[in-house]
Amino acid sequence: MPVQYYIFLSIALFCIGVMGVLMRRNAIIIFMCIELMLNAVNLLLVSFSKMWADAGRVDAGSAQLFVFFIMVVAAAEVAVGLAIITMVYRNTHSVDINILNRLKN
Amino acid sequence: MSIQQIIFMVLSVIALVSALGVVLSKNPVTSVLCLIVTFFTIAGHYIMLNAQFLAVVHIIVYAGAIMVLFLYVMMLMNLNAELEPQKRNWLKYAGAISGGALLVVLVAALRDASMPAIGTASTDIGLIKNLGQMLFKQYVVPFEVSSILFLSAMVGAVVIGKKD
């Protein structure tokens, strides 16, 4: 099976994530679209790992460890980000990101 | 068409449809449920790519922990479709068009790339034994740094979420 299939699937998932970040105004959904983009990149890394493992490289597992570290960083990011969103909601009773315009002043 | 390609097609179609559901659904809870479906299909892809350890970790961390956190925050805020902030229409079209333009550019750039094919033989590179040995031989420092990152994230979440 050509590795291009996985590349195109990852591109499609990543672009759906970008589209969601640009289209939606709900802060939580923007967060979820960022998760979608991270997962598209993870899928691409795992398919490259499989590709190089089939080509006989012994260090092909590095890509899977990078995916592991991306998951770790994503989990930490979600914890802090949801805390921030909760605080914004507590102060403004809205998760509309346009409210954050007032950070300007 | 081999059995692998059929499984790939089915998983990909489900993943793309549910990813579109995340973006397009009006109700935020529906978005979270669509995202869980997407994560499960990605875990299926991991199993097909011989990354068993990552598949299990993916289900535990994403579908288990992170999605529960999202649902919990969403239930806490009592969001529903009526309270959903509405964006102006032309901004939505602009977002969709720029995302589609990015898709076209990336596909055009990578269409003619020549790479080795993915074989059908299974490899044991994704088993936890090999990954653990690699993790603790070559990547010890990033592993320890990520533990510090987790600690600081926990402390940060508590400090931010504290009532002042």
pTM of the predicted structure, to 2 decimals: 0.91
- For residue A8, give both structure tokens: 């195109």
Residues B49, A49: C-beta atoms closer than 8 Å? yes
Confidence bin at A53 (pLDDT 50/70/90): confident
Q: What percent of chain A has pLDDT over 70?
A: 99
- % helix, strand, coil for chain B, step of 5: 75, 0, 25
List, in sequence order, every residue forming a beta bridge with A96; answer none if it has no partner. Answer: A26
Residue A21 CB: number of other CB atoms within 10 A? Answer: 18
How many Å apart are CA A38 and CA B89, to the nearest integer?
A: 27
- For residue A14, give both structure tokens: 């990543």
Of B22, B45, B102, the CB nearest to A20: B22
Q: For the segment B57-92, what is each residue's pLDDT rounded down to a tens digit?
A: 999 998 888 888 888 888 888 766 566 656 678 888
Please list, in sequence order, all residues whose beta carbon lies within 8 angstroms of the beta carbon of residue B46, skipping any fewer than 6 positions away.
Answer: A43, A46, B52, B54, B55, B58, B126
Answer whether residue A105 shows pLDDT above 80. no
Q: What is residue B82's predicted lDDT score, i.e. its pLDDT?
A: 61
- Residues of A with CB below 8 A from B69's CB? 78-79, 82
Among chain B residues, the shortest Cα distance to A57 is held by: B125
The domain that contains A22 carries what CATH number? 1.10.287.3510
The predicted complex's ipTM stands at 0.91
Residue A32, domain extent: 3-100
- Residues of B with CB below 8 A from A19's CB? 23, 95-96, 98-100
In Å, how far from its chain's centre is CA B49? 16
Q: How many domains does chain A have?
A: 1
In a domain, A46, yes or no: yes
Q: What is residue B86's predicted lDDT score, i.e. its pLDDT?
A: 64
Q: For the segment B25-68, what is each residue's pLDDT rounded down to a tens digit?
A: 888 889 999 999 999 999 999 999 988 999 999 999 988 888 88
Of A1, A46, A75, the CB nearest to B61: A75
In a domain, A105, yes or no: no
